[in-house]
Structure 1
Amino acid sequence: MIGGITKGSCFSGCVEYVLALKEENKEARLLYSEGLLTDTPKDIVDGFECQRHLNSRVQHWCGHISLSYSPEDSARLSDEAMVKLALEYMEKMGITNTQFIIARHLDKEHPHCHIVYNRVDNNGKCVSDSYEYYRSNAICKELKKKYGLTFGENKDKVKVDRLKGRSKTRQEIYLAIQAAKRTAKDWTSFQRELAQKGISVRKKFRRGTTEVEGLSYIKNGQKFKASQVDRDGKCSYKVICNALDRNKNSQAQPSASAPRPMQQQPKQTPSTAAKIIEAGADIAESLGNAVGGLFQVGPAYDQDEEAFIREMNRRKKRKRGRSL
């Protein structure tokens, strides 16, 4: 069970899609409605539009949620069972006392339904969307455990071609990160591999320090925090650093046939300057793709990060001067 949430300001387009009114290759079935006079598409839209005028401050009054289930649960998910799960999900999400419809789509191998609801409730108040993505994930997990539903496939096996828009971009970034983690030995090579797939990496520094406290990834003009790409932390700065260290150490270890060194050299602690350079390093977008592969991608000069490092050094010198 997975919940996908979107918001907009067009009831007619959303209802048209959910009821598959203009797509010949799709079949939809209206399962349930509440707060609406009749079940005809026109009356559904008119009812939604009439109520949303009770609160002119709500800008995105059309709420849309898709609830998808594993194909293995198809036999258990009758129309009645799907409505029951959708109603319990909505109650836990706080989507109550408002108009809504529930429709089932029959065009995919996995069972799924769509919910269209009015974010202006029956009293003219706005249905809260606070932390809705996190709450939705937690509720879906809770309902899957409660009813013994199948937990979905591993995220690494999700079929990208089934996704659209921002969800597709996020999954592409996730897969690219996992692939780069398996081969890259340092941040330069890690960022180079992502750049070759059109993905850039940005580091977020803790205020007043050169300590990296987070990452964000950008592709096709869309920006995602590491926690948005994967909530389990697989794309976080710490996890990636650990993966790069493992790759580097595995390459450094001698093979069984190679002669062992006479004496192992002590591991040198990197200097403060080296740490600053590593923290401030960034990679350019793939010049090889932009110029027909004539150039290789290497470490790039990042004006913002260089300015940040100079500012840190300037503050240190100022404090040192004051103490004299």
Structure 2
Amino acid sequence: MVAKISVGNSLYGALAYNGEKINKDEGKLLATNRIFDAGTGKVDISRAADDFRNCMPAHVRTRNTVIHISLNPHPDDKLTDVELENLAHEYMEKLGYGNQPYMVYKHEDINRHHLHIVSLNVDEKGKRLNKDYLFRRSKRITRDMEQRYGLHTAERSRRSSREPVQKVDTAKGDIKKQVASTVKSLAVSYRFQSMGEYRALLSLYNVTVEEARGEVDGREYHGLVYSATDDKGSKVGNPFKASRIGKSAGYEAIAERLITSKEQIKEKDFTVPTKRTVLAVLNRTFRRDEFVKMLKEKGIDTVLRETDTGRIYGATFIDHRTGCVLNGSRMGKELSANALQEHFTLPFAGEQLLPFTLPAESAAQDAPQQTAVSGYEEPDNSLGLFTSGSSGTDAAEDAFARELKRKKKKKNQRKI
């Protein structure tokens, strides 16, 4: 059994999403807790919203007051409505939400029947419930229920076992279908904590997104608009509203994804492996193209945003190993845009290192052949480019050294 948890602030939106499915006979209302149920098989969405609001103060400091949970048994588990209802009650009790108001819906609009549970994330006093290790506790609960009730294990499949996401190719036609397929897959498969990180992820697959805000009949609305792009990032074709793609690509779904991603990344320390890999590669090269190539070979794509003059003003790393999108500055100052710009524009960055040979005396002692150095492993150490007697020494420095010797010789002769 897989449990997907989202926290947000749109109570009516969560209730309407589930209630409309029930009212369209695409599911059933299996149970309620501290919420009125008329027993008609239909859902009074407005009445339910009022009941939920009566269970918390009018003004609370916690922004994300709503928790929306999806419980997905394995398709091979043929469970009755009573069994599903009991699983939902037990899950909420063990998660710490047993005394909270909640509604349990069964969705039947697809072959894989599953449950949705809407509840509050604050108590009657407006205090946020304990969310520490929420996802980890949820996983332990579902595993325990699988073992005790003999259910099939339904772990979420890894991205590597899925069909790879393809770049949008306008030459293939049906751009809307391509964009929709790409966006739906990326929106649920990766973790990102800002719209900038989400936009960087989409850019890898020739898609971009913009926020649309406005006011209709005195009510403010927010929306997302997606567009296909070419390999240079320029928009091509007509844009598409998120509503034409699906709820998983909409403003509310992405906003919730930002919140859950932040919690998961913090809880599981997903920044650690990415930062370690990026720093290791950065310490091996001062060349921007080589840096990007080496990271890609390790499963990390790099999106560098640059001005018209080529200056880096933003850097985002997409780690396909962990499914996380991380802004460079989020991982530390050493990976911020300014730090990377400085790193890649050092005087010797982008230049071929000069070879040098050991002096004759050293060569006789250490090795019979000339030794050439064309690279380096540790850029923090001395590069050895100005070693006395090396063939890489600048001609002007040689002339200066000879002039010093000549003056010193004359001075000694005068003393004699």
TM-score by length of 2: 0.43
1:128 maps to which of 122, 127, 130:
130
Name the structure 1 match of 2:186. Answer: 169
Whether the aligned pair in 1 keeps the contact of 2:311 and 2:341 (CA below 8 Å) is no
Whether the aligned pair in 1 keeps the contact of 2:14 and 2:68 (CA below 8 Å) is yes
CA distance in 2, matches of 1:98, 1:124: 12
Name the structure 2 match of 1:53. Answer: 57
Name the structure 2 match of 1:101. Answer: 103
Q: 1:236 to 1:147 in 2, by over 3 A?
A: farther
CA distance in 2, matches of 1:44, 1:10: 14
CA distance in 2, matches of 1:101, 1:31: 8
Q: Whose RCO is larger (CA < 8 A, sep 6+)? A: 1
Name the structure 1 match of 2:81. Answer: 79
Letter in 2 for 1:168: S
2:291 maps to which of 281, 286, 289:
281
CA distance in 1, matches of 2:62, 2:181: 26
CA distance in 2, matches of 1:21, 1:280: 52
Percent identity over the alignment is 22
Structure 1 position 21, deviation (Å) = 5.2
Matches within 5 A, 1:1-324: 1-20=1-20, 24=24, 27-39=26-38, 40-41=43-44, 42-53=46-57, 56-73=60-77, 75=78, 77-122=79-124, 124-152=126-154, 154-156=157-159, 157=161, 168-169=185-186, 197=205, 236=273, 274=284, 281-282=291-292, 283=302, 304=337, 305-307=339-341, 309=343
Task: Give the length in aligned residue pairs.
Answer: 228
Unpaired segments ≥5 residues, structure 2: 166-176, 192-201, 208-253, 293-301, 314-336, 348-379, 382-416
Superposed CA deviations along residues 96-137 of structure 1, whole A, max 9, x for unmatched, are 322111111111111211111122324543223333223323
Q: 1:113 to 1:12 in 2, by over 3 A?
A: same
Q: 1:94 to 1:166 in 2, by over 3 A?
A: farther
Whether the aligned pair in 1 keeps the contact of 2:288 and 2:344 (CA below 8 Å) is no
CA distance in 2, matches of 1:167, 1:86: 27
TM-score by length of 1: 0.53
DSSP-derived class of the 1:115 partner: strand
DSSP-derived class of the 1:71 partner: coil
Superposed CA deviations along residues 175-202 of structure 1, whole A, max 9, x for unmatched, are xxxxxxxxxxxxxxxxxxx985359xxx
CA RMSD of aligned residues (A): 4.9
CA distance in 1, matches of 2:162, 2:114: 16
CA distance in 2, matches of 1:169, 1:3: 19
CA distance in 2, matches of 1:279, 1:133: 38
Unpaired segments ≥5 residues, structure 1: 175-193, 200-219, 242-271, 287-299, 318-324
Superposed CA deviations along residues 122-162 of structure 1, whole A, max 9, x for unmatched, are 4543223333223323322232233222222633445889x
CA distance in 1, matches of 2:73, 2:285: 47
CA distance in 2, matches of 1:59, 1:165: 31
